[in-house]
Structure 1
Amino acid sequence: MAVEGFQFIALYVYNKDWEEDLDLRPGDILTVSKTSLTSLGLKDGDKEHPERLGWMVGVNERTKQRGDFPGTYVQYVGPVKMYVGLQLMSLSSHFHPQKMSPPTLVKLVEAIEKKGLECETLYRTSGFLAVGGHRQSLNFELSEPEVGQYDIQALSEALMGFLQDLPSPIIPESVYPSLKTALQEEAELSVEETGRRLLKALAPPAMPLPSLLTLQYLLRHLDRVGQSSAHNGLDPHTLALLFSPLLLTAGSEEDPLPPKPSKTKAMASSVINGEGSKMADAEWYWGDISRKGGNNKLIKIFHRGGKYGFSEPLTFSSVAELILHYHQESLAQYNPKLDSRLLYPVSKYQQDQVVKEDNVEAVGEQLKVYHEQYQEKSREYDVLYEDYTRTSQELQMKHTAIEAFTETIKIFEEQCETQERYSKEYIDKFHRDGNSQEIERIQSNSDKLKSRVTEIHDSKRKLEQDLKEQAADNREIDKKMNSLKPDLMQLRKIRDQYLMWLNQKGTRQKKINEWLGIKNDVEDLYSLMDEMDDLPHHDERNWYVGDIKRGQAEELLRGKGDGTFLIRDSQSQKGSYACSVVVDGDIKHCVIFKTSTGYGFAEPYNLYASLRELVLHYRHTSLVQHNDSLNVTLACPVLTQQQPR
């Protein structure tokens, strides 16, 4: 189904300041529905001047994430038809098991080279990539035989658009330091040595095999383009300027950035319903409700002389203004255990909509139903996740085996050619000598060698067929996992709403645990007792060590007991974190992802609002559900005095 929308292109780097914002880099295409702009009071001509619109809500076509972005950072591109349900695939998803490059890229390159590399309009795009529906329709029709009907400019835009629309650049950020080092030392090294270092930096496993194969294929094409530079004007320097933004992540901008519009819209629905409205109308204001039996943290809001605040001096003119401020700022200055922001209001309107029952018993029984459904879906997802991990490892092994078969076949075929070349001379000689026994021996050896080559070819073909079938099965598992994620998220959300409703009604924790099927002598996520307030896990200074290297983390943990852990900034995945923990005397490391839904070790468990919440959860929950070799809990922060024995 198609709906009307508009596209804008990012002109500057923007690193999000708010949880619901989008990260931008120059060249990103932002798609915004017409309905969304209409809700902002869109007038004729406003879309051509996005700076007038302030903050807009749209989808970044590069990352496929939805969120807010500042109108002052973008430029209007044009109208577009938005097709619901269309998603871009990662680079590895474009690969056919038997192909060395993505079929889409191969078809585009072949069509461009067939049209002619000497064309003066080659890779001269008509403005912005992804303008209108022309390139979109071309991309979706690439499998059709009519691809040859498009002119060289349309094919050029489609190829560059294919590279731009990949969720991540072909050359991953993790190899940048090695590339930079090799280039910085260029003056001291020979061209050959510099080339060898660059090739080493781009070799697997530092660079994923699909990315490397795609890069090699594309560079061979660009080399052929450059050979015709006398006609097309595309010398190596020009090609580098055109394609480097498509192959590498854009760097930081030196030009001064434009001012960001005032951030008021993002909280409009969740803070106040219109300027000057009463606090009683705000969705987060619940009035006179009881906290009895609840496990939430309290922090008082003081009111004196018409001003509000958590402590003196009181500086806010209203509670709504205070809430808006701490949507962006942490509460840790008042209490180290409250290192969090006021991001997600619990809506009293939403509560009334979700919880339909009108008494505690009925709500409790319904909670039990939702909790059982959530557990069932979680078990189903865990089984699929294990199957997906296993088959992915097997696919990688088969890819490696096929590469080994290819090299073996090459060696045997060279032996066959050598033997055939020399055998003819010896057979002629033995014919003259009348030595039929030697002739039979030579022919027998030749037949055995040819038979062995045939066997290897057959084994390779069988393995390729197995790989093709298993890759199809793996894709089906991935589809099933993706179809389960929305159900898991929704069930967890509903279950938590019922839990909140019961806590607000003063329901005893023991009774809630019975509905959840939790033994009352076992700690759980919903039953953090008051005596846990003194746990060292609450203070991130006990376990967060910042930007240190893997080796330094291992030094800190060496000799410590099982369950001793620390959290650090990830060296390989910028923006993410790494957990280092002692397991059976060894030190293991795993990535903590930061996503739009929260922190976590893997989908669909990236649900924790902060690292502290994640640490508290895995204090009593084993990591084995994410990795069989991590049967351990985050028992003891590394910087506390008390260590587990």
Structure 2
Amino acid sequence: MEETLKKYPWYWGDISREEAQELLSNTSDGTYLVRKAATAGDYTLTLRKGHRNRLIKIYHRNGKYGLAEPYTYDAVQDLIEYYSHCSLAEYNVQLDCTLDYPVDNQLTEVPTDDSHIYNELCKVNQEHKKKMSELEKLLDIQKVSSEKLQKLHETTTSVKACIKVFEEQMLLLTKTKSQAPADGIAGCQKNSLLLEERLQSFILTRDCLERAIQEKTFANRELITQVNAMKPEIKALDNKCEHFRSILEKNHHHVEKINGIWCITDEPVYGTMSDDEDIYAQVEEVRANAADAVIPHTETWTWYHNNMDRAIAVSVLTGQKTGTFLIRGKSELECALSAVNKAGSVVHCKIMKSADGYCFGGGYASYPTLLDLVLYYRENSLVKHNADMNCQLLFPAFLISSLPPN
């Protein structure tokens, strides 16, 4: 317990009652420290209240700590943390205050001269700015991490839905195969192999996603732990600032002058990130640029299926975001585009193949390959071909690996 307590600014260890009294003289109500008591295992909380120092015994009995029976705290720091937020009036009605201002054991001396107090306030304020900057940066990282984790969960849900659709189609195909005439069995077997190949691809992707979720969840918890660890440090600095401010105000210093410390410009501004500290922002920018440069549409397997009926296409696309699409092969001269429009509906459009390439018919331009057509309408709306198809080809339906960067 002793080694653990030494980490806390309010613990002064084996100092005398007189030394504790001196440390708290001329301080504000709510100022406190903890020291060893004469009884082994017990401690004394010295609290400033009503311009007087109050001595409160912290008892240690049967592995528990407390100010009075029943003793319920596992550690002294737990008791101090509790009364930092809750009034001591529940222990003694005359002590209606909380533990607000710890006397920092890192101070070699407690400043009493106003000029020294100003200097200490400046130092503490700059440290507070630095910690707040670190906390804000950490919170930003944690927010991005949480958003990516949420995206992983959403993508996994979509993959599982696709797996279910393909499993149902496999069962249906098995039933159809058993009832098919002899000349239709070969076609059923071919379709079965295609469905099985696609199903296994989805299953593999699901497994990868679930592993990624585990890793991201662990990393996110680590970030939350770091954030929570910083909050008590910042609160302690807040308390120090308020303590010094209170002393200066009681000594009749102008509030404007005290508040001016928060606008000091001749000290280093800790809130500004250096080039080295800005690595995280640079990494995010590189990822964004890479996402733009490496267009997933160039992999035709992410959006093309040679043998899929309309009902399966609707099942795959239903519930997906606007611009999710796939293309289904129907014959050597014809295929069909299915996409999710701005209303969330799945709409379809026929694509014809001619000697000039692929087009939607009606005199519109032809594209040498389906990929050329897809890339063009990745940037342009399809509404001129179909009034209901008011969208672009943004998200390949089979691109289940289109995940946020690890």
- Per the normalisation by structure 2, the TM-score is 0.42
Q: Which has the higher strand share?
A: 2
Bigger relative CO (Cα 8 Å, ≥ 6 apart): 2
- Per the normalisation by structure 1, the TM-score is 0.28
Determine which structure has more spread, i.e. the larger CA radius of gyration: 2
